[in-house]
Amino acid sequence: MPLPGIGEGFFALTRNTLTSAFMALPIILITITAFFSTTTANPGMMILLLGQIIAIPIVQTVLGFLRGLSFVRYYLNLGPPQNYENNKLCSLSPVDVKDDQIMPPVSYWLAHVIFFGSYVGSNAMSIYTNDPEVKSPDPIKVENRKTQAMTAFVVTLAFILFAISQHYLHTGCDTFGSLVLGLVLYIPLGYGFFELAKVCGLRTADLFGIATKLYLPSPGDTNNFPYACVNIQPRQ
């Protein structure tokens, strides 16, 4: 016979764990990106990590500075009300929030999630639209590449939209104006960093490992004969 309260406690703990993970989603994304960029040396992952730890803090700092200007607060107050408790809730590191600190109008959570979604979505669409640089691409591989890339794009888009909507509706960290501002700023920023990754990296700066498979020779390709290394001794 189950003990009373065990089931309720388990579900409450599970709910609290999922809620905490959801609020810490930007930190989780940064950690995952850092892990794969260091273990795989993927140029796309490295550029994504630079955007997360350098570009976003710079933009957020500028937004916070502009919001602190009196005429900006008077004419263009996009973010949520500035108070200590609200600032702690909407900060990635609540212990570092000061009483008189002015937070940027776009929450750090929203900035990181939009930037990550824009970068990953741009990667998926690049793989879907770009043809491999081979003379006779295998049509089966091309079809598989398009299917996998479109699946990655749809799943990423659905997850990002769901996460943003839940965060917007239940936390109060962003207003409709700050949401629009975040989309206007961080979608182009994510796309721009992906284009930078394509310039600095290889081929399409593939994050999913999809494009890499297209450059392997097909078994039916007659232009790719087997090779063998044979030690041939010169005649005496």
**Per-domain residue ranges for the chain?**
18-215
Give dist(CA 175, CA 102) in Å, integer: 16
Enumerate long-range contacts of 94-98, CB under 8 Å, 24 or more apart.
none
Q: Measuring CA to CA, which residue among 76, 62, 80, 29 is closest to residue 190? A: 29
CA dist 95 and 91 (Å) reads: 9
> What is the pTM for the complete model shown?
0.78
10 Å CB burial of residue 41 (0-12, 13-18, 19+) is exposed
Average pLDDT, the chain: 77
Query: Residue 30: pLDDT band by 50, 70, 90 thresholds?
Result: very high
68 burial type by CB count under 10 A (0-12 exposed, 13-18 middle, 19+ buried): middle
- For residue range 80-121, list pLDDT tens digits in order: 555 545 566 677 765 556 666 677 888 889 999 999 999 999
Listed in sequence order, the DSSP H helices in 84-138 are 84-89, 108-129
Angstrom distances, CA of residue 19 to CA of 8, 111, 141, 172: 16, 19, 40, 15
Which amino acid, one-letter code, is at 55? Answer: A
Q: Which of 222, 186, 203 is nearest to 59 (CA)?
A: 186
Q: How confident is the model at residue 222 (pLDDT cuts 50, 70, 90)?
A: very low
Report whether 74 contacts 224 (CB < 8 A). Answer: no
Q: What is the pLDDT, as a whole number, of residue 7?
A: 58
CA-based radius of gyration for the chain: 24
